[in-house]
Structure 1
Amino acid sequence: MSALEWFAHKPLGDGIFWIQERFYESGNRANIWLVRGSQRDVVIDAGLGLRSLPDYLRDAGLLAPAPGAGPRPLLAVATHVHFDHSGGLQHFEEVAVHSAEAAALLRGDNYEAVTWLSEREVARPPRPGWSARQFRVPPVRPSRLLQEGDVINLGDRQLTVMHMPGHSRGSICLHDKDRRILFSGDVVYDGSMIDWLPYSRISDYVASCQRLMELVDRGLVEKLAEEEIQKQPGKQDEGIHITNDYTSYPEDAIVSQVT
């Protein structure tokens, strides 16, 4: 199966594209984003890696031509190293991840990546003889280590790194401050919060959600990128309400689950 068959995309306007792994049918399926800038393009999360995402971007004509000679810079940023977000990093030359999870990515730590894939989740195998039991996230050497407050410069837009641990210890969001858009990774999503994985920490997750709510209350975040996929009124509100409920979790219950 070619990369053009494996992936599909939807343009959301303003240089943002949502990309999906068509034949991976699972609640674990990550949203993949392409954000185009005047000088550099950024992919946010890379999927499983069963087919080459850079090949798809090129073959689908999603990468703007570079001015002059040489390829246009393309950076893949993992919001965290869980397998559905980091498996595809192997296909990129430039890779960025938060420093808290860089070592796990470098050694191909499939415990921290919580790698789990079943045959029934893959509707069409990517190649003959492929087996889900053989799937692993391979070691990848990050070319850039991210910290809170770092800015990824795309030329005409900047993405600010927000360290939002809880779901994992190195979870980040990317904030386009000028457009008030947040790429949230797995910090917030529809459904109950997943806070029981290796290196999840409930108290950190609550603090991260409180921080997100403050950004919304102050008008610094008006859109979650995930809202734009569905184009359903109130879709963002649903995710925000879930986040708000999570921040209301009783403090004594948090302490009892952490200790």
Structure 2
Amino acid sequence: MSDDWFVRRSVDRQTTLLTEPYVDSYFSANIWLVRGSEVDLVVDTGMGLRPLRPVLDLTPGKPVLALATHIHLDHVGGLAEFGHRLGPRQSAEAFATMPDALTFADEYREIAEPVSRLPSPGWVPADYRLMPAPLTRILDEGDVIDLGDRSFRVLELPGHSPDGIGLFDEKNGVFFGGDAIYDEELLDDIPGSDNAAYRRTMERLKTLPIRIGHGGHGPSFDAKRMREIIDDYLAK
């Protein structure tokens, strides 16, 4: 099914990036579809302004897991569309209610121009709400997500948010960093951020042997670029 709300780009044979270009740039986040031989994985689910699942071109009958790297609104908007919902233990209980205090959905309702095009006729910012999406699997450090021909290990990466997690495919060197690290300005001054924790996360990521990294925002990056991002942050 096509939907011009989302822009799709094939990154490689197994990875597709979706973005929401009509969302205010501060809130527009990356959505990643990772195809496995037995299970597909969606890493973060955008704002939830338009249905996500129908545009993913999923294989009928093939299991699909939807994973939230943290509970901020731009990463959990479409989570309720999926039957298998994974997320971090730190905020696990809150996925059942999606409180503004943790998601910041209230901030989005209050900005002057949240979208450059209406997601549906008559939509107004005051109507924006996140659908409750109770987790069906709670993730901890070291947990493994098996897609059949590849697997990802869960990394706890607090700093931007207390509940931030990433995923690392050790065999192929593929890393999904959520908002812990990405190739744009990193946010560490929002409610719940912890600079000391963020610095520890950066020191940890310095030695992660990635081939390619995919963040919650911005373009993908290689190991050299990731070290540059880390060094710039630690030099602040």
Same fold (TM over 0.5): yes
Matched residues in 1 for 2:8 and 2:83: separation? Answer: 22
Query: In the alignment, what sits opposite 1:224?
Result: 213
Deviation at 1:221, TM superposition (A): 0.9
Query: In the alignment, what sits opposite 1:87?
Result: 77
Deviation at 1:14, TM superposition (A): 3.0
Matched residues in 2 for 1:145 and 1:191: separation? Answer: 29
Deviation at 1:134, TM superposition (A): 2.3
Question: Residues 210, 165 of structure 1: CA spacing in aligned structure 2 closer, same or farther, 3 A cutoff?
Answer: same
Residues 123-132 or 238-247, more deviating:
238-247
Contact 2:212 2:222 in 1 (8 A): no
Q: Which amino acid counterpart does residue 75 of structure 2 have in structure 1?
A: H
Can you list the C-alpha shifts for 1:88-144, whole angstroms capped at 9, x where unaligned? 112111110001011221221111112232352312111111111221223211101
Question: Residues 27, 157 of structure 1: CA spacing in aligned structure 2 closer, same or farther, 3 A cutoff?
Answer: same
Q: Which amino acid counterpart does residue 162 of structure 1 have in structure 2?
A: L
Deviation at 1:225, TM superposition (A): 2.2
Query: In the alignment, what sits opposite 2:154?
Result: 161
Contact 1:99 1:170 in 2 (8 A): yes
TM (normalized to structure 1)? 0.83
1:75 aligned to 2:65? yes
Matched residues in 1 for 2:222 and 2:41: separation? Answer: 25
Q: Which amino acid counterpart does residue 58 of structure 2 have in structure 1?
A: L
Deviation at 1:237, TM superposition (A): 4.1
Question: Residues 114, 230 of structure 1: CA spacing in aligned structure 2 closer, same or farther, 3 A cutoff?
Answer: closer
Matched residues in 2 for 1:73 and 1:185: separation? Answer: 22
Matched residues in 1 for 2:195 and 2:154: separation? Answer: 21
CA RMSD of aligned residues (A): 2.2
Matches within 5 A, 1:205-224: 205-215=198-208, 220-224=209-213
Q: Which amino acid counterpart does residue 167 of structure 1 have in structure 2?
A: H
Percent identity between matched residues is 35
Matched residues in 1 for 2:230 and 2:62: separation? Answer: 37
Match of 2:195 among 202, 206, 214: 202
Contact 2:175 2:214 in 1 (8 A): yes
Contact 2:178 2:215 in 1 (8 A): no
Query: In the alignment, what sits opposite 1:113?
Result: 103
Gaps in structure 1 of 5+ consecutive residues: 66-70, 250-259
Equivalent residue pairs, number:
232
Question: Residues 21, 94 of structure 1: CA spacing in aligned structure 2 closer, same or farther, 3 A cutoff?
Answer: same
TM (normalized to structure 2)? 0.90
SS at match of 1:121: coil
Contact 1:164 1:171 in 2 (8 A): yes
Matches within 5 A, 1:2-151: 4-57=3-56, 62-65=57-60, 71-115=61-105, 116-117=107-108, 118=111, 120-151=113-144
